[in-house]
Structure 1
Amino acid sequence: MSEPPAPGRASPPTDRVVRVLDFLARHPQERFGVSELARRVDLTKPTCLGIVTSLRDAGYLVRDPADKTYRLGPSLITLGHKAQESMRVSPAAREQLRRLSTRFGATAALSAVVDDRITLLDLVAPVGARPGVEVGQSYPFAPPVGLMFVLWDDEAVRDWLAMEPTVPLHPSRTDPDRLHRVIRRCRADGYLVERLTPGGRRLYSLMAGMSSTLPDELRALLGELVSDIGERVYLPDEKPGRKRHDISVISAPVFDHYGRQVMVASMHIGKALTDNEIRERAKALIGTADAVTAQLGGARPTSWPHTVGKGPDRDH
């Protein structure tokens, strides 16, 4: 009798099943026969046939009886919903995202740090829109990516800054004074706004799904795209003469009953907005984040501003 795998040891048979499911998840609109699927995931045909047969029997795949091709099955829907529930994303939270998305014609999302990765937990996009990201997509969580998940807590900021950067950040290109100014302003306002920069446009698309250990070539490229940790953050007092600002995303924190941040509610903009338009969307987003916090039985930390929408430079 063979010994069971030691804790932490990879299981090659399981890895093969994961490869099949991951491949089909990347091609949700397509169907594949056993021969092609085996070739695409680098498995022998008998091994692939055994895997897809078991997955079909469990409802995780569907087999077309006419052309004998396979696609994702209905049991994965239930599994996905259960996974969302385990992350405390409820239908009520999704309804909050839907309202926000409908009001502004923008994609609204909830995300969290799961196992040291930023993971998209839920997303609602306008009808016909292609948001470019998918629920379950994840990114490495380390500077300069992830400021919105830590800036509400001093200890979390220190721990995050102590991580090995996802991309090389040269000391001469990192401004700690500006980062502190960003943190103070975001805490006063209750939200964070990221500008739509050339580097920001490519950063997340390049990093999506990658491990924390990026290839040296990609790390170097991303290092050129990102000048410092706070460079993409919009601060209204920095460019007072500009009437419109290219905005990427607006984010606000969701808290648990200990007053700890557990999620981020965000609205993906992708266009130029005036200061008033930014504030209008940010105020609505804070309302969404507060509603999700209440659904979790959570509460803002005691240091949180007592009046929503009354930060510096706000319209009262």
Structure 2
Amino acid sequence: MPRPALAASRAIDILNFMAAAPLRGYSLTELVRQLDLNPASCHALLGAMTRDGYLVRAPRGRVYRLGPALIAIGHAALQCHPVVAAARNQIALLSSELDMDSLLTARLDDRLIALASEGPGRMPGLAVGQRVPLIPPLGTPFLAWANEREVDSWLAKAAGAIDADRLRQSLAMVRQRGYAVTQRSPEQAATGLAVLGMAEEPLAGDWQKRVAERIGQMGEDYLMIEAQPDRLHPVMMISAPVFGVDGAVLCTLSLFGFGRPLPLSRIALLGEAVARHCRMASAMPGRPDKQINEVGRG
């Protein structure tokens, strides 16, 4: 693979870093320290990116923020990815329908990135633009319809001891249900705190390592595989896949912010609601609903 141009790579690092905490402004000194950049090179990059509108510099405080040129690029990108644009609209409809928080997530190779969020914001989730490692047990809606080679690669990235057979069983259950259910636990809560901490320093190596370790410690119990109808379940998130026209998972739509444990009947109703909105996002012109339903149910 060709080595990327250093200036281009550094510019991408700056944009990714600032996108993970877009309401903050960053000084030259902060960006140099956080991204381990050469001060002179960073100053030149910031000047070029500000000139073209990718960044703006505050008249006071000497801090940089994301610029308006990125808005136009974002709109253009949504035109290139109409299914993702439709999914973005669906999370707003889902949150309004159920008065809960929702999140749209995409896969970027070995990372998950939050693309959009909606809802009352009662419970913190991934910030838009934030990335987390795609390692077990995270990412089952993306892997449930993947081939064996992809699943093996995902399992090999586990940050802790895992039961591979149980994780494969969880993928089969996601395909059967059409959605994934994850459960709240002390280990998951610790992971959530680590992810929130990483939002402040998204590219810091120690935070990345800490989050990966916490994810690995959540274990297979984080995934709801066997569900008992006569008990309440501490659900953290319900997620379903949005499929592209080729049948590949493009993104996932997730519902979260459950205030109390739920019975299996309620989980099933909410899961079907999430899956229904995902099918609506997947509906493309010229693609019959029958095909969408068959893909969405494996």
Gaps of 5+ in 1: 1-6, 307-316
| 2:234 equivalent to 1:263 | no
**Post-superposition CA distance 1:48-107 (Å, at most 9, x none):** 432222111101122233554432211122223333444445544322211101122222
Q: Percent identity at matched positions?
A: 28
- Aligned equivalents of 1:215, 1:64: Cα separation in 2: 30
1:1-316 map, 5 Å: 8-34=2-28, 37-38=31-32, 41-43=35-37, 45-126=39-120, 128-129=121-122, 131-152=124-145, 156-157=147-148, 159-163=150-154, 164-170=156-162, 174=163, 176=165, 178-179=166-167, 181-203=169-191, 206=194, 222-223=215-216, 225-228=217-220, 231-235=221-225, 237=227, 239-242=228-231, 244-271=232-259, 272-295=261-284, 299-300=291-292, 302=294
- 1:215–1:77 CA distance, 2 compared to 1 (3 A): closer
- Aligned equivalents of 1:261, 1:297: Cα separation in 2: 19
What secondary structure sits across from 2:269 in the alignment?
A: helix
- 1:145–1:236 CA distance, 2 compared to 1 (3 A): closer
- Aligned equivalents of 2:254, 2:266: Cα separation in 1: 15
- 1:132–1:297 CA distance, 2 compared to 1 (3 A): farther
RMSD across aligned C-alpha pairs, in angstroms? 3.7
TM-score, with structure 1 as normaliser? 0.73
Question: Cα offset for 1:283?
Answer: 1.8
What secondary structure sits across from 1:290 in the alignment?
A: helix
Gaps of 5+ in 2: none
What secondary structure sits across from 2:283 in the alignment?
A: helix
TM-score, with structure 2 as normaliser? 0.77
- 1:84–1:137 CA distance, 2 compared to 1 (3 A): farther
Structure 1 or 2: more helix by fraction: 2
**Post-superposition CA distance 1:198-218 (Å, at most 9, x none):** 223344664776799x98887
- 1:240–1:27 CA distance, 2 compared to 1 (3 A): closer
**Post-superposition CA distance 1:226-255 (Å, at most 9, x none):** 333xx2222464x3432x221111122222
Corresponding residue number in structure 2 for 1:311? none
What secondary structure sits across from 1:28 in the alignment?
A: coil
The letter for the 1-side match of 2:152 is L
- 1:31–1:101 CA distance, 2 compared to 1 (3 A): same
Aligned partners of 2:56 and 2:64 also within 8 Å: yes
Greater relative contact order (Cα 8 A, min sep 6): structure 1 or 2?
A: 2
Aligned partners of 1:38 and 1:45 also within 8 Å: yes
Number of corresponding residues: 288
Aligned partners of 1:106 and 1:269 also within 8 Å: yes
The letter for the 2-side match of 1:282 is G
The letter for the 2-side match of 1:234 is M
Aligned partners of 1:140 and 1:210 also within 8 Å: no
- Aligned equivalents of 1:211, 1:145: Cα separation in 2: 21
- 1:255–1:103 CA distance, 2 compared to 1 (3 A): same
- Aligned equivalents of 2:158, 2:54: Cα separation in 1: 35
Aligned partners of 2:116 and 2:128 also within 8 Å: yes
Question: Cα offset for 1:294?
Answer: 0.5
Aligned partners of 1:84 and 1:121 also within 8 Å: no
Aligned partners of 1:260 and 1:301 also within 8 Å: no
